[in-house]
């Protein structure tokens, strides 16, 4: 049973302009009536609060893991904020690391920064739509001889992946690990349904869900 506050998180994302409504072309080419831009949690207090939402969702999930990994670039502040919140609010001081996009050939070398990748690794990322980005993290973790324990994201868009199932289900089944999300498209629909001013947006989101949802 989840104890974290999905509706509070969505209010927070809308207030910060992170979650916007309009017309957006996704990485997959789909035209979406909403977009979640985690880069706009761009103040100290906003990032700290975001880290607490991630940490709570992770704690609620009960998933077992030994360390955290944030994929470059957007996963880097997310994983650091989550590591801080797990230590400060959940009594779990865990190692964490991130990758560089370009390998360095001098200085400390290597493409990983932070704690060495080992044991069961939880990936912290922003959004999964079609599941392309997450597969790169899996390659990095496996190349280091570590194991993927799961993936924690802000928003599960609950869209079909390459087949009939959702991209998240495909990731969960092909990789054999859970995907933890702070909020889902279902939570967003419930959120919009509570606000009479959002009737038109709700209609567009529901039409999009009918076309690309699961």
Of 59 and 75, CB closest to ligand OMP:
75
Of 40 and 87, CB closest to ligand OMP:
40
Catalytically annotated residue among 4, 90, 104, 194: 104
Give least dist CB 168 to ligand OMP, A. Answer: 9
Residues that bind ligand OMP (CB under 6 A): 26-28, 35-37, 126-133, 167
Of 59 and 170, CB closest to ligand OMP:
170
**Is residue 133 a known part of a binding site?**
yes
Q: Is residue 194 annotated as a catalytic residue, yes or no?
A: no
**Is residue 73 a known part of a binding site?**
yes
**SS3 track for the chain:** CCCCCHHHHHHHHHHCCCEEEEEEECCCCCEEEEEECHHHCCCHHHHHHHHHHHHHHHHHHCCCCCEEEECCCCHHHHHHHHHHHHHHHHCCCCCEEEEEEEEECCCCCEEEEECCCCCEEEEECCEECCCHHHHHHHHHHHHCCCEEEEEEEEEECCEECCCCCEHHHHHHHHHCCCEEEEEEHHHHHHHHHCCHHHHHHHHHHHHHHHHHEC
Catalytically annotated residue among 106, 191, 194, 203: 106
Give least dist CB 180 to ligand OMP, A. Answer: 15
**Is residue 100 a known part of a binding site?**
yes
Burial group, residue 158, by CB count within 10 angstroms (0-12, 13-18, 19+): buried
Give least dist CB 93 to ligand OMP, A. Answer: 27
Give least dist CB 107 to ligand OMP, A. Answer: 28
Of 65 and 212, CB closest to ligand OMP:
212
Q: Is residue 89 annotated as a catalytic residue, yes or no?
A: no
**Is residue 98 a known part of a binding site?**
no
Residue 28 has which token pair?
């997959």
**Is residue 203 a known part of a binding site?**
no
CA 136 to chain CA centroid, Å, is: 14
Q: Residues forming the annotated binding site?
A: 27, 35-36, 73-74, 100-101, 104, 106, 125-133, 157
By annotation, the residues acting in catalysis are: 104, 106
């Amino acid at each position: 049973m989840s104890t974290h506050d999905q509706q509070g998180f969505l209010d927070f994302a809308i207030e910060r302009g992170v979650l916007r409504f309009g017309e957006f072309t996704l990485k997959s080419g789909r035209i979406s009536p909403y977009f979640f831009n985690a880069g706009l949690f761009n103040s100290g207090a906003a990032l700290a609060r975001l880290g607490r939402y991630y940490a709570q969702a992770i704690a609620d999930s009960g998933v077992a893991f030994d360390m955290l990994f944030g994929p470059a670039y957007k996963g880097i502040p997310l994983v650091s904020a989550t590591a801080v919140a797990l230590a400060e609010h959940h009594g779990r001081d865990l190692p964490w690391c991130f990758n560089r996009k370009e390998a360095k050939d001098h200085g400390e070398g290597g493409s990983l920064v932070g704690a060495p990748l080992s044991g069961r690794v939880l990936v912290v990322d922003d959004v999964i739509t079609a599941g392309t980005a997450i597969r790169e993290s899996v390659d990095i973790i496996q190349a280091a001889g570590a194991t993927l324990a799961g993936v924690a994201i802000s928003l599960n868009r609950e869209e079909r992946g390459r087949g009939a199932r959702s991209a998240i289900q495909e990731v969960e089944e092909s990789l054999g690990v859970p995907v933890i999300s702070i909020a889902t498209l279902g939570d967003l629909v419930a959120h919009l349904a509570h606000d009479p001013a959002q009737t038109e947006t709700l209609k567009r989101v529901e039409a999009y869900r009918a076309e690309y949802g699961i």
